[in-house]
């Protein structure tokens, strides 16, 4: 009996690691799909609107399913206003800056810069919220940003000054999402991650639709078939499905281990960029990526697994996973 129980927990652990790794790689594939869509003549505004509009029904299905499993307290108007603001900051602005930046830098550099989001949360907490940072965390910050600079050298050598613009835009995306994470902390505990993600993504879809209509009111109806398919894959395969995989993985193995499995994201992005987009892989790039991954591992291993209450849902850690931008 004990052997059967141990085998069950071992399989549960392995499946959790597998789901976390696959989810992280699927999230990272978003950049590749956006790059491919750019090749068909689409702009950032239209691609963002299509992605959010296609993902929105899937998010609401998840919300409906979760609402059947547990009772949710009603939202007050102040909550709704906060959710709209968080949706603008964390999903619309962050995603838009990321899409713009992808026009100028490789998908590998983009994913590595986004992978620095936890360090930005640390810095904001230190300088704005006056929280302490340990010596090990400072070392991790220095190593992480050194790694990004090394990878940036690779992009700058081939694209010149435009690499600066691209990295600034993507770093702005990471800062926007880091601010969202800090601002959403209190609301996650009170209303739950599912409602936060669904309402914030709804607000983002609204903002992205307005923006797309401002640039070209009929743009979302005039794209080629390839762009619609790429946007659908982006919404489902690289947004909603990995979110579900990581959600289940958190329930099985906990957030710290899921975050460690997330190192597959930047690694897989670099290889996807090589095989699909013909972006070069160099030892400089690999060295920088290794430093960034090592820095994030140092930060993650300081976190201890949280004990879940018996009534908590496996969705409660949803926004602690990969950014949706």
Q: How confident is the model at residue 321 (pLDDT cuts 50, 70, 90)?
A: very low
Residues above pLDDT 70, as percent of the chain = 91
Task: Answer for the pair 100, 214: CB distance below 8 angstroms, yes or no.
Answer: no
pLDDT of residue 34: 97
Domain ranges of the chain: 30-316
Taking CA atoms, 68 is separated from 3, 64, 297, in Å, by 36, 6, 37
Per residue in 56-68, pLDDT (tens digit) is 999 999 999 888 8
Closest CA to 199 of 92, 49, 94, 308: 92
Per-residue pLDDT at 260 exceeds 80: no
The per-residue pLDDT for range 69-103, each reduced to its tens digit, is: 877 778 888 999 999 999 999 999 999 999 999 99
């Amino acid at each position: 009996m004990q052997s059967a129980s141990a085998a069950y927990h071992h399989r549960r652990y392995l499946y959790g690691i597998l789901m976390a790794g696959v989810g992280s790689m699927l999230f990272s594939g978003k950049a590749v799909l956006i790059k491919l869509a750019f090749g068909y003549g689409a702009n950032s505004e239209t691609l963002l609107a299509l992605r959010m509009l296609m993902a929105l029904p899937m998010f609401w299905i998840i919300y409906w399913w979760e609402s059947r499993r547990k009772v949710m307290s009603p939202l007050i108007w102040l909550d709704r206003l906060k959710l709209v603001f968080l949706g603008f900051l964390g999903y619309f602005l962050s995603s838009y800056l990321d899409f713009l930046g992808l026009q100028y830098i490789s998908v590998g550099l983009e994913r590595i810069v986004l992978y620095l989001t936890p360090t930005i949360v640390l810095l904001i907490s230190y300088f704005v919220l006056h929280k302490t940072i340990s010596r090990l965390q400072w070392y991790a910050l220095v190593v992480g940003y050194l790694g990004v600079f090394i990878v940036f050298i690779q992009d700058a050598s081939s694209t010149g000054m435009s690499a600066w613009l691209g990295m600034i835009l993507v770093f702005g995306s990471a800062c926007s999402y880091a601010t969202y994470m800090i601002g959403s902390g209190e609301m996650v505990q009170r209303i739950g991650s599912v409602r936060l993600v669904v309402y914030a993504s709804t607000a983002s879809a609204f903002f992205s639709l307005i923006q797309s209509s401002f640039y070209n009111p009929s743009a979302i109806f005039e794209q080629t078939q390839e762009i619609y398919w790429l946007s659908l894959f982006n919404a489902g395969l690289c947004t909603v499905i990995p979110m579900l995989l990581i959600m289940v993985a958190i329930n099985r193995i906990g957030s710290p281990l899921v975050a460690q499995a997330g190192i597959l994201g930047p690694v897989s992005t670099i290889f996807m960029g090589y095989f699909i987009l013909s972006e070069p892989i160099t030892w400089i790039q690999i060295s920088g990526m290794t430093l960034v991954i090592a820095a994030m591992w140092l930060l993650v291993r300081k976190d201890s697994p949280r004990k879940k209450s018996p009534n908590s849902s496996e969705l409660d850690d949803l926004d602690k996973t990969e950014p949706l931008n």
